[in-house]
Amino acid sequence: MTFRILVILLLIALQGACATSPSDESTATSQQEIAEATQAWQTAFNSRDPARITAMYAPDAVFWGTTMKSIATHPDAVAEYFKAAGSRPNTRVVFEEQHIRVYGDVAINSGTYTFKDVRDGQATANLSRYTLVFRKRQGTWLIVDHHSSRMPT
C-alpha cells in the first residue's frame, strides 16, 4: 500500500515537472519583440504615411482612436482615420510608460504616449493612454485591438 502511494506521488510530481511553461528567456524575447513592434508603430505613425501605419494592423483589428466617435471594425475604417495624418504633418508620437505582457501568441502593451504638434506656431503636447493588443500571425506581431484616449486633466 505504501509503495502504491509513493508511485502515485511520484507520478504527480513528474506530471508537474513535465508541464510546459514559457521560459523566462522566451518571455523576455517576446517582450522585446513587442517593444520592437511598438517602436515600429511609432515610426510608422511619425512617417505620416497611412498605408505604413495601417500595415501594422491585422485585417480583423478593431480600433478606438483618440478622436473617433465610433469604433473601427474594418480595415477601411482604420485606414480612413489615419488618412487625416497627412493633414497634420508636424504631429509626432512618443511612447512613455509601457507595460508589456505576453500570453503565448497574444501580447498586450498598455501605457501612455504623448502626441506632440505645432499649432498656430505653438508647441503642443497631449498625453494619452493606450492599449495595444498584438497577435502573432505567421511569425509577425500584428495589432488586433488598439484603444487610445486622452489622459484626463
Question: What pLDDT is stored for residue 1 in this prediction?
Answer: 57
| Cβ-contact 132, 114 below 8 angstroms | no
Question: What pLDDT is stored for residue 24 in this prediction?
Answer: 64
Decide the pairing of beta strands 106-119 and 122-137.
antiparallel
Measured distance CA(4)–CA(96) in Å, rounded: 58
Question: What pLDDT is stored for residue 109 in this prediction?
Answer: 99
Measured distance CA(74)–CA(63) in Å, rounded: 9
Measured distance CA(115)–CA(88) in Å, rounded: 11
pLDDT tens digits for range 80-122: 999 987 788 899 999 999 999 999 999 999 999 999 999 889 9
Question: What's the CA dihedral at 87, 90, 91, 95 to 10 degrees?
Answer: 150
Decide the pairing of beta strands 140-150 and 122-137.
antiparallel
Q: Is 99 helix (H, G, I), strand (E, B) or coil?
A: strand
Q: Assign residue 66 a region (left: φ > 0; alpha: ψ between -120 and 50; beta: otherwise).
A: alpha
What's the grid cell of residue 147?
A: 484603444
Question: What pLDDT is stored for residue 86 in this prediction?
Answer: 72
pTM for the complete prediction?
0.81
Question: What pLDDT is stored for residue 60 in this prediction?
Answer: 97
Ranges of the chain whose pLDDT falls below 70:
1-25
CATH topology classification for 23-150: Nuclear Transport Factor 2; Chain: A, (3.10.450)
Domain spans of the chain, in order of start: 23-150
Q: What value does the CA radius of gyration of the chain take, rounded to a whole number of Å? A: 21
| Cβ-contact 61, 77 below 8 angstroms | no
What's the grid cell of residue 151?
A: 489622459
